[in-house]
Chains A and B, each alone.
Chain A
Amino acid sequence: MSTLIEVEHLTRYFGKILAVDNINFNVKKGEVLGFLGINGAGKTTTMQMLSGCLAPSLGSIKINGFDILREPLLAKRSIGYLPDTPPLYKDLSVKEFLFYCAHLHAIPKSDINLALDIVLTRCGLTSVTNRLIAHLSKGFQQRIGIAQAIIHNPDVIILDEPTVGLDPLQIIEIRELIRELRQDHAVILSTHILSEVHETCTHLQIINQGKLIAKERVDSITQSINESSLIIKTAFPIDAESILSIKGVRNLEVLSNNQFKINFKLTQDPTQQISETIINKGWGLIEMSPSKQNIETLFMALTKANNNS
């Protein structure tokens, strides 16, 4: 598949402060790259440079084969960008605003109405088409921001924290939209919410203090960490020995009275045996839930390791 984004030795200084330090990565068509990092790690700076809003101090960015510094106009034709604050003219109506965006991105006159209809439906804006942007909720404004980024059907979509300020239902809709978009685009999205990466991205990239400290496929991460955990709640006290004797169980932490966390090896998933044991012994199983902290563990581990070194 074709590589749509090529980043080489990307570096950015703000005065003497090094915000982004020698980053390299590629994104191919069909990939969704999750950009993960704590606040101030350099996510937004990197995205501003990718979109051409900020010139890099060093390094090169190629979008769809065009260098963003040397052939900015050609490169920007393939970019749809949602900054961390959606760039909205609040005294326009939704339709007027998107119409203007369509013009700015040089969509042929005959196609504008079609493009407008598609994007309004996709982003769930049909009910507010003629309302003023200023009068709409944060969630709607965020969706208009996404709409302006995809209206011209760009090859590369750059979304800076696309789900901020949305309610859970809207987040699910946006994730679905991103999954839909990945069919024939390359998407980069930044977030500090870990579960989001799990839900929408094919690739994960962690940035800390301007440095890229990990780049993985999301589906391989879960496997690469050969450990998972279960949280169990029972009605009566349990006998730790009999749980620990189950094959695959590594250790058992007591969280509170009758609540435990069991860590185990993924290769020998002992979930079934554990539940059977508890029921057989009559301890009264109340709750048993897998804890989904894989990426979080990885993230914490990686950022900590990096800070210490």
Chain B
Amino acid sequence: MIFTIAIQEFKSHFKTPLAWVLFAVLQIILSYLYLTQVETFDLMQDKLVGIEGAPGLTDIIVTPLFSNAAIILLLVTPLLTMRVISEERRNKTLPLLLAAPLSDTDIILGKYLGTLALLWLIVIIIALMPLSLLLGGDLDMGKYLANVLAITLLVGAFTSTGLFMSTLVDHPTVAAIGTFGILLILWLFNISKTMSDQPNELLEYLSLLNHFQNIQTGLLSTNDILYFILFVTFFIVLSIYCLANHRSQK
């Protein structure tokens, strides 16, 4: 049941030109940033060889690519998730799901996985980019995989927030702005790390960027990975609650 909804949701994105245009735009922006980075490395590699402990190919090209992708996806995800539930409510198509033999959990998880699949497709496109470097150099594959994992988890967190806002709010635009707001605040909590002498531990724990960067270094910690899983669960639980509440109060 969950997968029926998920597949439908996933497919529906490709029935309008939106997803395709988005793919093209993302491809252009990210590959441009990536190729500039490749050029920079190409120019300065002779100097780097002489320095002990200098950053390598992976640090200079792969890590920034995924950091850039994270920021661009922070902007893009709200646009993809804003319509998930709120538009169904506006178009009055939600009764189709509510009157079918589905639990609220099925509906929310189905919608979540469907949208997440689309974003993971974008992640795959991004992840394929640096593999072309293998033609002329060596990548730290461990670090590369850590970067892919980091963005995969991050996108999962973005999507869950977007889904929650879309369940909460009737207007897709409001949902998008709300999602963007929440994500940006969570992203910027990290600022306390460099801006205050005694970093606030709670804020530092809540910061998305902090955990994202931790995983990017290639040092996988259980708390970073669990943070993302708990983050997603939190917003999924809230979304289910919101949807159920929608039935009893109107």
Interface residues of B toward A: which range?
A: 20 to 34
Interface residues on A, range: 20 to 34
Q: Given A53-B247, A76-B100, A103-B4, A83–B15 Cβ distance below 8 Å?
A: no
CB distance from B243 to the nearest CB of A (A): 11
> Which single residue of chain B is at the shortest CB-CB distance from A48?
B95
CB of A87 within 8 A of CB of B1, answer no
CB distance B102 to A104 under 8 Å? Answer: yes
The A-contacting residues of B in range 53-112, CB under 8 angstroms, are 91-103
Q: Mark A270-307, 1 if CB is under 8 A from B, else 0.
A: 00000000000000000000000000000000000000
Query: Which of A51, A55, A83, A100 contacts B248 (CB under 8 A)?
Result: A55
Q: Could you say which of B12, B16, B96, B250 contacts A104, with CB atoms under 8 Å apart?
A: B96
Residues in B neighbouring A89, C-beta threshold 8 A: 12, 93
A-B contact pairs, 20 of them (CB 8 A): A52-B99, A53-B99, A53-B247, A55-B247, A55-B248, A72-B101, A73-B102, A74-B101, A76-B102, A79-B99, A81-B99, A85-B92, A87-B91, A89-B93, A90-B91, A92-B12, A100-B4, A101-B96, A104-B5, A106-B1
Note all chain A residues with C-beta closer than 8 A to B99. 51-53, 76, 79, 81, 83
Residues on A with C-beta less than 8 A from B8 are 100, 103
Do the beta carbons of A91 and B248 come within 8 Å of each other? no
Interface residues of B in 1-31 (CB under 8 A from A): 1, 4-5, 8, 12, 15-16
A residues in contact with B95, CB < 8 Å:
48, 51, 53, 81, 83, 87
Contact assessment for B96 and A87 in the assembled complex, using a CB-CB cutoff below 8 Å:
yes
Q: Is the CB of B103 within 8 A of A148?
A: no
Chain B residue nearest to A80 (CB atoms) is B99
Q: How far is the CB of B206 from chain A (nearest CB, A)?
A: 34
| A-B contact sample (6 more), CB < 8 A, given A53-B94, A87-B91, A104-B102 | A53-B98, A76-B99, A88-B93, A89-B12, A91-B12, A91-B16
Looking across the interface, which residue of chain B has its beta carbon closest to that of A83? B95
Kindly provide the distance from the CB of A49 to the nearest chain B CB, expressed in whole angstroms: 10
Closest Cβ of chain A to B250, distance in Å, is 6
A174 to B41, CA, bound (A): 71
A76 — which chain B residues lie within 8 A by C-beta? 99-102
Q: Determine the chain A residues whose CB is within 8 A of the CB of B12 once the complex forms.
A: 89, 91-92
How far is A14 from B99 in the complex, measured between Cα atoms in Å?
Answer: 20
Min C-beta distance of A78 to chain B, whole Å: 9
CA–CA, A200 to B133, complex, Å? 72
A77 touches B101 (CB 8 A): yes
A231–B94 CA distance with the chains assembled, in angstroms:
48
B17, chain A: closest CB distance, angstroms: 11
Q: What is the CA–CA distance of A85 and B96 in the complex, to the nearest angstrom?
A: 11
**B92 and A87 contact, CB distance less than 8 A:** yes
Say yes or no: B98 contacts A52, CB within 8 Å: yes
Residues of A within 8 A of B248 (CB): 55
Residues of B within 8 A of A74 (CB): 101
Name the one of A54, A81, A91, A106 contacting B247, with C-beta atoms under 8 angstroms.
Answer: A54
In angstroms, Cα B102 to Cα A90, docked, is 22
Residues on the B chain within 8 Å of A101, using CB: 96, 100
Complex interface: chain B residues within 8 A of A103 (CB): 4, 8
Contact of B101 among A53, A92, A105 (CB under 8 A): A105
Complex CA distance for A90 and B15, rounded to whole angstroms: 11
Within 8 A of B (CB), among A40-75: 48, 51-55, 72-74
* In the bound complex, CA of A148 to CA of B93 (Å): 12
A81 CB contacts on chain B under 8 angstroms: 95, 99
A148–B103 alpha-carbon span in the complex (Å):
19
Query: With the chains together, A14 CA to B250 CA distance in Å?
Result: 7
Q: A83-B95, A85-B92, A106-B101 are in contact. Are A92 and B1 (CB under 8 A)?
A: no
CB-CB nearest in chain B for A99: B8
Asked if residues B96 and A72 are in contact (CB atoms below 8 Å), the reply is no
Interchain CB contact under 8 A, B250 and A54 = yes
